[in-house]
């Protein structure tokens, strides 16, 4: 069993679902442990000629259902504990969406804002080289995550291809369209958050029109979630990023705000009432979307949440203790492994397109994304009602039962 906090948190969620269905204890021993963790040193020459050695990780949590799949993040707080937890969540997410993937995650301990683009390129290429023994389109397929982009994926793809001696577009997803990236991939996670929120309101026979939304983290996920929810008739009244928080009870102009972020890389240049960014979580809204980092809602602040429903745009934004408080208070939580699964759904579609060499229009991609997410939501909703459990517990039940079925057929080697 992992002792560090974030991985332990991921395990607590697994154990809760396992108890609910009296899960096979022998299979649980497999699922509670990561399959493989690779730790690497990543030395690069900085622009000033000095050598700096960074630490990197890649965790492949499971490959029972297929190749491992998961993002690569660049952040000062990256740790082995974090990538293990994130890889575990990717495992359950892929199983819940019934994708032919296991879960993986990677990262480098660094502050990308303090590195030049040439330094980031050298960092990415060296990291790729170090983890290459466990990479491959049928082994492990990286994708963008916190502070990594389609350009990062292009560097990974090129590095892998140079070593192999041929171009391999299926080694990563989330890459530029010109290199075989899928239309709709950039918006997919945010679009998925909006679609799942819409389905939740439908299931409760409520209208999303006029619902007040607060979004913590106005990056790619939060920004697109806000955009699509506003297009569905909801009113985005508060948003935040690292620079601060904006609030307008009459509704923010989301397209203008996205333009501001595009130009200035932050929301604070936009003219609206500014408040302390920490206060965004406590706004009196219908829907709160934490789309930043982990552990934002916890035992010390969960009792201050006024939203009626929390939709997890980020991975692990609520601690187990925070979850319990919200549950007792009657605040519905749509879990990350369902709410933000749009990205991996379209990553799978991108991988399929790259493997086949046949590329689809955005309408086809978005239609398949919606079909998969609606199907998964209905399965989770039905399980939640049938078992009288939270949506998180229901989502985990669907996921781990699916993985258990795989093991029942495959068995344990040797």
- Nearest-CA neighbor of 160 among 119, 199, 129? 129
From the list 65, 105, 183, 372, the catalytic residue is 105
Q: Contact 244/274 with Cβ under 8 angstroms?
A: yes
Cβ count near 275 (within 10 Å) = 15
Pairing of strands 102-109, 68-75: parallel
Place of tokens 């890889």: 87
12 is catalytic: no
List Cα–Cα distances, 161 to 105, 168, 176, 254, in angstroms: 21, 6, 16, 39
- Nearest-CA neighbor of 376 among 140, 138, 187, 203? 203
Return d(Cα 276, Cα 244) in angstroms, integer.
6
Structure-token pair, residue 129: 């080289």
Q: Contact 173/182 with Cβ under 8 angstroms?
A: yes
Dihedral-angle region of residue 133 (phi above 0 means left; psi in -120 to 50 means alpha; beta otherwise): alpha
Q: How many CA atoms lie within 13 A of 194 on its CB side?
A: 25
Structure-token pair, residue 184: 């709709």
Return d(Cα 91, Cα 31) in angstroms, integer.
9
List Cα–Cα distances, 201 to 325, 331, 410, in angstroms: 22, 14, 39
The total number of residues shown for the chain amounts to 414
Q: Contact 305/297 with Cβ under 8 angstroms?
A: yes
Q: Kindly list the catalytic residues.
A: 105
């Amino acid at each position: 069993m992992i002792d560090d906090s974030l991985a332990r948190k991921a395990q607590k969620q697994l154990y809760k679902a396992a108890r609910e269905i009296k899960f096979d204890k022998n299979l649980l021993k497999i699922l509670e442990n990561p399959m493989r963790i690779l730790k690497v040193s990543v030395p690069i020459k900085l622009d000033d000629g000095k050598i700096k050695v960074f630490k990197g990780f890649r965790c492949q949590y499971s490959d029972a259902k297929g190749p491992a799949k998961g993002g690569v993040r660049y952040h000062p707080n990256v740790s082995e504990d974090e990538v293990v937890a994130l890889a575990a969540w990717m495992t359950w997410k892929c199983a819940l969406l019934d994708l032919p993937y296991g879960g993986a995650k990677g990262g480098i301990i660094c502050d990308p804002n303090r590195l030049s683009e040439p330094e980031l390129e050298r960092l990415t290429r060296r990291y790729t080289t170090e983890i290459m023994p466990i990479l491959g389109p049928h082994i492990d397929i990286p994708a963008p995550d916190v502070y990594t982009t389609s350009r990062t994926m292009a560097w990974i793809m090129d590095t892998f291809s140079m070593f192999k001696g041929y171009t391999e577009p299926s080694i990563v997803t989330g890459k530029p369209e010109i290199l075989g990236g899928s239309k709709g991939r950039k918006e997919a996670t945010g679009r998925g958050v909006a679609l799942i929120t819409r389905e939740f309101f439908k299931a409760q026979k409520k209208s999303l029109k006029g619902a007040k939304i607060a979004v913590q983290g106005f990056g790619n996920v939060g920004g697109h979630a806000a955009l699509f929810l506003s297009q569905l008739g909801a009113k985005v009244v508060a948003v935040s990023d690292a620079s601060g928080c904006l609030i307008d009870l009459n509704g923010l102009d989301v397209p203008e705000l996205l333009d501001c972020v595009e130009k200035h890389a932050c929301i604070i240049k936009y003219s609206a009432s500014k408040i302390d960014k920490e206060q965004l979580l406590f706004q009196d809204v219908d829907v709160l979307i934490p789309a930043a980092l982990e552990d934002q809602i916890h035992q010390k602040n969960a009792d201050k949440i006024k939203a009626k429903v929390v939709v997890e745009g980020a991975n692990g934004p609520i601690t187990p203790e925070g979850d319990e408080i919200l549950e007792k208070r009657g605040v519905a939580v749509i879990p990350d492994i369902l709410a933000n699964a749009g990205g991996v759904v379209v990553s799978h579609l991108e991988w399929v397109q790259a493997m086949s060499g046949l590329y689809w229009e955005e309408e086809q991609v978005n239609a398949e994304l919606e079909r998969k997410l609606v199907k998964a939501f209905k399965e989770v909703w039905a399980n939640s009602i049938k078992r009288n459990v939270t949506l998180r517990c229901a989502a985990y039940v669907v996921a781990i039962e699916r993985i258990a079925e795989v093991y029942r057929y495959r068995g344990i080697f040797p």
